Amino acid sequence: MHGAALSGWLMVALCAATGAYCLLRMREGTGIERRAAGGEAVMGFGMAAMALPAAALTPPEWSWTVYAAVFGTAALHGLFAIRRGGHHLHHLVGSLAMVYMAVAMAAAGPGAHTAHHGGTTAGVPVLTGSLLLYYGVYVLHTGARLVPAPGPAPGPVPGAVPAGTGGGGPAGSARPELARVCRLSMALAMVAMLVTL
């Protein structure tokens, strides 16, 4: 039981930190980047709330309906935004996965949150397996994109601003790998949540 509570708190911390970083990215970005970061922040904070250990907080039964409504709205937004780019498809899948988990927990009835962290199944195995497959592939693909490509020996880059000289924009604006790390973190947390469903 101690291990489940510890892993729950670690997931809460990871998802909340990811959501907070996405809020910072939202302040820095423009247009599509802001909307994507905002969607990721909602997902991060929602996952953090859903991952709270049952020993710390037993959510009221209506909370699953609230989760389903919030992420159902996010899914509709993702559906309408899909024409803007492929990344919105991932937001749509993530929102639908959160709706699915909320509905499964609501259907499991009182004590579902405890069962969720204890390993009792609450979802449809085929749908859970499909989502696990999707997120497993996403984690591998995103992780592979974070591995640096072999290149020439490091040296000064022509036109680069030396570190500490005040060049560049806001923190994180030129760091697309940090956005990928956030997406990777949330995908790993989603895998962990789906496994316990």
Of 172 and 86, the structure prediction assigns the larger pLDDT to 86
CA 10/CA 83 separation, integer angstroms: 35
Q: If pLDDT is split at 50, 70 and 90, which confidence band does 177 have? A: confident
Model confidence band, residue 169 (pLDDT cutoffs 50, 70, 90): very low
- CA–CA dist 20, 53 (Å, integer): 20
Could you report the per-residue pLDDT of 52-79, keeping only the tens digit for each? Answer: 887 777 778 888 899 999 999 999 888 8
Question: How many Cβ atoms from other residues are within 10 Å of residue 165's Cβ?
Answer: 7
DSSP string of 43-95, one letter each residue: HHHHHHHHT--TTT----TTHHHHHHHHHHHHHHHHHHHGGG-THHHHHHHHH
Token reading at 120: 């009792």
Position 68 scores a pLDDT of 93
Does 178 score more than 80 pLDDT?
yes
- CB-based contact 128:194 (threshold 8 Å): yes
The amino acid at residue 63 is S
Which secondary-structure segment (H or E) carries 133? Answer: helix 125-146
pLDDT tens, position by position, 76-129: 888 887 876 656 788 889 999 999 999 998 887 665 554 444 445 567 889 999
Return the biggest CA–CA distance within the chain: 62
